Structure 1
């Protein structure tokens, strides 16, 4: 890590990386327990899964309103509001006496995650030098991956110490409270770090190249729907490719456990295979940013999608072979490598393409597309597996990855002719 990158990381640490890590740890500890909370309130397995899905639905529904909120009040205040609302969601989960109240609290938590994530994304889009952008955004993605990876272990320790699953909700609320304090009383990057108005993406031809401090002028701001219409071509083209990447990532989390079950493996073996794949994924998060910054965005996204596409395709034809278990472990590791190489790609492309004077509305639209892909994939995999076979669903996800790779290969040179200084 060069001195320049390290200096920028230190400037953003108090207001971006530390809050991101706190939120990811709290959320990562609670997510695995949401179906358990639902079951304790009388839900069967399908209904518990539906309650858990409210988190993804909340995040999907929250992206566009979050774009409006960030554009209206700024990144810092939006993060504070999201943190306070997440505290309310935690209280709702603690006091939930019905599935409806629990589902509503989980939905609000997902909505807050969308607001918090978009605020950080917008903040870094306008203030990170483009030559470091992919590495710093990959690090931001790594914070989330760390939370998802470590959070369940934290939850296990808390439950063993307290004897109640609700301790994870208290942990979430503690993390969020610390986050709000850091953001409220820490240095305000909107005042201390200048906005870099450099034409770096597809939508910034009007930028003058000057550096300004403070808030972005309101006169330059467009509404969310105006932004979607103005950038409909890039959103429908590169946005669709990004949705494919998000779908494949999400499908990995569903297919690998289901594949182990279909092979008749015990829970310990499945957990080991999925855990190793996740560890490989987490270990490579910064490598993706280095590749994108040094060689160009396409040199990370294409290998990542090709590896996942070929991995899913190969896995789909190994179910009934004699060495099915060996193939399962090897291809799970390969999918982990592909997913790790894709860390920060969606954040980086969104930042590159967004108008730098007012990125929030565009990023809300961009994140809605990518989250829609991620939300749809588990539903599609489950439906196809039930109607036909898990092998067919896995092969389809391989095809989706290859379609996404073709989309990025076709449209990236057009909309991002340059991505480095």
Structure 2
């Protein structure tokens, strides 16, 4: 364990990712209930919760452009710093409109951090271990959400909803220090196919746009069910089952534990059998679990449905990052991954809007079926229309003996 901690890549890349995820996890049970404390309208709650993914939409393309000119480390630091400031500012937000503004800022920061982190990993990790490396990143993201929600719920319950925002910002400051101290440009010196990165402009992306369209269509619905679940589960637990914020945090942490336990099997499946072998079962299970939520009348059955969703989500740990890295042209990874994240964030922003809009017109419980349909669409698109993207790393050509 000591050797792992002292490894430069762990301290520079994986540990900050874990801390960033933990900081996000602190907010999972808090944000929906905080928005609900500012308005009685489910529609407005949905808009407030969609502000962060909308902010990511705003930041995705600029992040790709910045990566053409600057080292991923600098873009990471810019993004996580913006997220940190915007999260701390929520403590002082006087109303819903300010919450929306600060969440838009936080989303843009998350786009900068996420895309630069993705680009760094795609450059630094070999093809043969890409699935495991990125599933580990996805697993750590879920690991941060193992304790984050329960601690966030406890803080909000004892000290008030707003206090959790300050704790989240403080954790991000530690991540900023680790990246500043330990990340070096030499860590990303490995280019998986031997192509030197060029500044070729957006024209070089044209051959990759076909894959972006088909796989991106699936990713829209994949991210939609993920984001919809994050909005629906806390609201359903509080509004329908009558649970308090501390109990919501416990449920979210339990779900994250189930989720995290599957990140390594997910990586093995993607590397040994193919990306689709993990993706299609994953979103099928998530769709099934989401469809069962309206039939949960008490805590035990609700936790059962959430567990099924978490098993499905765990099977897709790192899958969208891995597929994006597979499809990205080596000479313009930053720009492509910016577009890839843009497409995914369209889905992420749509999830909370579905929850808020349908709940406003019908009932909160009935929104689960609409969110479930997005997961089923994701599974069908990846199964029927997206080719397998797993590739074998080219072997060096042997020189003939003299």
| TM-score with structure 2 setting the length | 0.82
Is 1:249 the counterpart of 2:226? The answer is yes
Output aligned runs, 1:60-209, within 5 Å: 60-90=57-87, 92-97=89-94, 99-156=96-153, 158=155, 163=159, 165-188=161-184, 190-198=185-193, 209=194
Q: Distance in 2 between matches of 1:324 and 1:156?
A: 20
Farther-moved stretch of structure 1 (121-130 vs 293-302): 293-302
Q: Distance in 2 between matches of 1:242 and 1:9?
A: 36
Say how many residue pairs are matched: 390
- CA gap 1:186/1:355 in 2 versus in 1, 3 angstroms: same
Contact in 2 for aligned 1:297/1:419 (Cα 8 Å): no
Q: Give structure 1 stretches of 5+ with no counterpart.
A: 1-5, 199-208
Q: Distance in 1 between matches of 2:62 and 2:89?
A: 22
Query: RCO (CA 8 Å, sep 6+): is it higher in 1 or 2?
Result: 2
Q: Distance in 2 between matches of 1:92 and 1:399?
A: 36
One of 199, 215, 233 as aligned partner of 1:238 = 215
Note the aligned Cα RMSD (angstroms): 3.5
Is 1:416 the counterpart of 2:389? The answer is yes
Q: 1:205: which partner in 2?
A: none
SS in 2 for 1:418: coil
Contact in 2 for aligned 1:281/1:336 (Cα 8 Å): yes
Farther-moved stretch of structure 1 (114-123 vs 242-251): 242-251
Q: 1:265: which partner in 2?
A: 241
Contact in 1 for aligned 2:13/2:183 (Cα 8 Å): no
Is 1:361 the counterpart of 2:335? The answer is yes
Deviation at 1:349, TM superposition (A): 0.5
Deviation at 1:339, TM superposition (A): 1.2
Farther-moved stretch of structure 1 (370-379 vs 27-36): 27-36
Q: 2:257: which partner in 1?
A: 279
Q: Distance in 1 between matches of 2:36 and 2:366?
A: 31
Q: Encode CA deviations 1:247-281: one digit per residue, 9 max, x unaligned.
A: 2222333444566678x634168776655444312
Farther-moved stretch of structure 1 (133-142 vs 25-34): 25-34
